[in-house]
Amino acid sequence: MASVRTEALIEAAADDVWTVIRDFAAGPARMAPGFVADSHADSDVRTVTFADGTVVRERFVTIDDAARRIVYSVVGGGMCPEHDNASMRVEPDGAQRSRFVWVHDVLPDDLAPPILAAMKRGTAVIKRTLESGVA
């Protein structure tokens, strides 16, 4: 199983960043406008539409507010992995700075490179958005 990871230091308080990241339904569109065109949930499955037209369905797995960690899994849409598990975590790094960590485990392994490329682009947008206070 391939595992890919991105992280970024965000010049914003961890609680403020977590408020956006933990929003399962609308979080992707809030944190990455322009990269994500739309996100909405129907019960425990959200549909994320990316700016390039790709649509992915993701199932909510768990949220841990104390650890500032959300876990979800891709279950359909433009990508149908054999196995998928992703998590986003926010850690405080000082009073007004956070560390955003995004991990994605996937099978088959050949899905890892395009997922990592998308995660890198998305992480850059998330950083800019959350630092600007727009989300």
What pLDDT does residue 82 have?
A: 92
What's 99's DSSP letter? E
What is the side-by-side strand order in the sheet with 98-107?
A: 2-10, 98-107, 83-92, 69-77, 55-64, 45-50, 36-42
What residue numbers bound the domain in which 44 lies?
Answer: 2-132
pLDDT tens digits for 66-103?
A: 999 999 999 998 888 999 999 999 999 988 999 999 99
Q: How many domains does the chain have?
A: 1
**pTM for the model:** 0.94
- Domain CATH code at residue 94: 3.30.530.20
pLDDT tens digits for 34-76?
A: 999 999 999 999 999 999 999 999 999 999 999 999 999 999 9
